């Protein structure tokens, strides 16, 4: 799924996903009420929920459905944001903060609700997410997070060392906390399921139809594709995240498009598999350079984490994750790896999703920070409500101006320096 300059196994998700929906490339000019750019979770959720309101929608995807983060992520459906509830209230005030906590806490729900509603062919499981604490300070933080979300009615609890070891199958954590709202999906099957649901609702979905430019004239948008076709519309919603390129001025300079890497073993023997996350939890930990891992529906163990900022040159770029997996789960040592893949994550300056409206009728959604499955499904619902009603209170985040990262051209040097610093302070594995 991800083009690399050497022979490499395709993404696990591309190899094990439900078939892609039958789509076409745009070859004609036409008009829509709304054009959505980007065939990932946010774009498809927006398009689906607009169409269900009777709004005529055309969705344009530059490559294939789920080509970006929606087809390459770790499949963990985790509610919440990078900030804890008390932080959100400090940042936004009591009333808006409480609204944001409510929104963030429910983001996993729409994923599983949509799978059920549309009878999607998506392997999924909802057994909860564990955040493993790797230091005493991180353990205290885990306790605080469990306490804060508990005050807001979330089904969470603190885990001591023995409980964490029992639920994860590794001795590497001092404890942690579990959030029972979370779960897991086969991510590419899910985004393909969203595409089918959107198409069934009347959305015109076009793939291999990259947008070259946008123009606003006399209150109407003209969306020009690389093959010469033009779609005119009243409004445009852009949901390209880390893969938007130069479509809108300076937008790409508002994020760090870091690379995240993943490996997957071959399906494990049952006697080994039963010792790893036996109840079906998923996990990511408290490291700055976090590790995230889970089992898949076919019995593989997946491990994700940092990788070089550049594009991969060979299998050695995944070797650190393979070493980490064997240290975390010694029982897996000797088992072979079947898949290696990577993809871009859009990281904003404040680690929050951003909504921009740089011109009348154009809304841009960008920034996932690793929780995009639930977050962007929910954002699509909110964006659809805003586009249909013009009520800004429908949006969970305020609309802000486009603000580039300082010294954006040096971002690779910056990221590499930060990675080195975090590695020194995270504690080795």
Would you say 21 and 199 are in contact if contact means Cβ atoms under 8 Å apart? yes
Per DSSP, the three-state class of 214 is: strand
Phi (first) and psi of residue 4, to 5 degrees: -135, 155
Q: What is the per-residue pLDDT for 368?
A: 87
**CATH topology classification for 12-126+185-253+348-409:** FAD/NAD(P)-binding domain (3.50.50)
Per DSSP, the three-state class of 133 is: strand
Q: What is the per-residue pLDDT for 418?
A: 57
Residue 383's contacts (CB-CB under 8 Å, 6 or more residues apart) are 42, 46, 237, 355, 363, 365, 395
Alpha-carbon distance of 274 to 269, in angstroms, equals 9
* DSSP letter for each residue of 290-330: --EEEE-TTS-EEEEEE--SSPP-SGGGGHHHHHHHHHH-G
Alpha-carbon distance of 231 to 251, in angstroms, equals 22
Let me know the angle formed at the C-alpha of 111 by 110 and 112, rounded to the nearest 5 degrees. 95
Alpha-carbon distance of 163 to 174, in angstroms, equals 10
Q: What is the per-residue pLDDT for 311?
A: 87
Alpha-carbon distance of 365 to 60, in angstroms, equals 15
Phi (first) and psi of residue 77, to 5 degrees: -105, 95
Terminal CA-to-CA distance of the chain, rounded, Å?
30
Domain limits, the chain: 12-126+185-253+348-409
Would you say 134 and 174 are in contact if contact means Cβ atoms under 8 Å apart? yes
Residue 348's contacts (CB-CB under 8 Å, 6 or more residues apart) are 254, 255, 354, 366, 367, 369
- Residue found under tokens 């997996």: 325
Going from the C-alpha of 301 to that of each of 124, 190, 327, the distances in angstroms are 15, 20, 14
- Residue found under tokens 């139809």: 209
Per-10-residue mean pLDDT of the chain, 429 residues long, equals 38 88 96 98 98 98 94 95 95 96 98 98 98 95 96 97 98 97 97 98 98 96 97 98 90 88 96 98 90 97 90 91 96 96 89 96 93 96 98 96 78 60 57
Residue 174's contacts (CB-CB under 8 Å, 6 or more residues apart) are 133, 134, 135, 136, 138, 139, 161, 164
Q: What is the per-residue pLDDT for 415?
A: 63
């Amino acid at each position: 799924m991800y083009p690399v300059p050497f022979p490499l196994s395709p993404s696990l998700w591309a190899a094990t996903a439900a078939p892609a929906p039958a789509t076409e490339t745009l070859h004609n000019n036409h008009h829509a009420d709304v054009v959505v750019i980007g065939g990932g979770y946010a774009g498809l959720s927006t398009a689906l929920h607009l169409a269900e309101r009777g709004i005529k929608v055309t969705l344009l995807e530059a490559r294939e459905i789920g080509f970006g983060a929606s087809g390459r992520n770790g499949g963990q459906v985790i509610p919440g944001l990078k900030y804890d509830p008390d932080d959100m209230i400090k940042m936004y005030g009591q009333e808006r903060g409480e609204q944001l906590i409510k929104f963030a806490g429910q983001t996993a729900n729409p994923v599983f609700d949509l799978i059920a509603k549309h009878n999607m062919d998506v392997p999924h499981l909802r057994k909860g997410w564990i955040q493993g604490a790797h230091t005493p300070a991180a353990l205290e933080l885990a306790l605080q997070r469990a306490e804060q979300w508990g005050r807001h009615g979330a089904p969470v609890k603190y885990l001591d060392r023995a409980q964490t070891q029992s639920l994860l199958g590794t001795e590497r954590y001092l404890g942690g906390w579990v959030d029972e709202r979370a779960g897991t999906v086969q991510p590419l099957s899910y985004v393909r399921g969203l595409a089918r649901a959107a198409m069934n609702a009347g959305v015109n979905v076009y793939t291999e139809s990259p947008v070259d430019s946008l123009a606003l004239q006399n209150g109407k948008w003209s969306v020009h594709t690389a093959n010469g076709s033009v779609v005119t519309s009243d409004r445009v919603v852009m949901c390209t995240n880390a893969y938007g390129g130069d479509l809108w001025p300076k937008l790409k300079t508002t994020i760090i498009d870091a690379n995240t890497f993943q490996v997957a073993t071959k399906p494990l023997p049952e006697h080994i598999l039963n010792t790893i996350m036996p109840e079906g939890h998923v996990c990511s930990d408290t490291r700055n350079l976090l590790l995230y891992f889970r089992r898949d529906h076919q019995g593989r163990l997946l491990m994700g984490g940092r990788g070089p900022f550049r594009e991969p040159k060979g299998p050695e770029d995944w070797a650190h994750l393979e070493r980490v997996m064997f240290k975390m789960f010694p029982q897996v040592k000797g088992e072979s790896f079947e898949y290696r893949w990577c993809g871009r994550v859009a990281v904003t300056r404040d680690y929050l999703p951003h909504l921009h409206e740089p011109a009348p009728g154009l809304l841009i959604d960008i920034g996932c920070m690793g929780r995009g499955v639930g977050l962007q499904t929910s954002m699509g619902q909110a964006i659809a409500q805003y586009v249909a009603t013009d009520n800004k209170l429908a949006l969970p985040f305020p609309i802000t101006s486009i603000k580039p990262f300082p010294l954006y051209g040096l971002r690779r040097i910056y990221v590499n320096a930060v990675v080195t610093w975090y590695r020194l302070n995270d504690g080795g594995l």
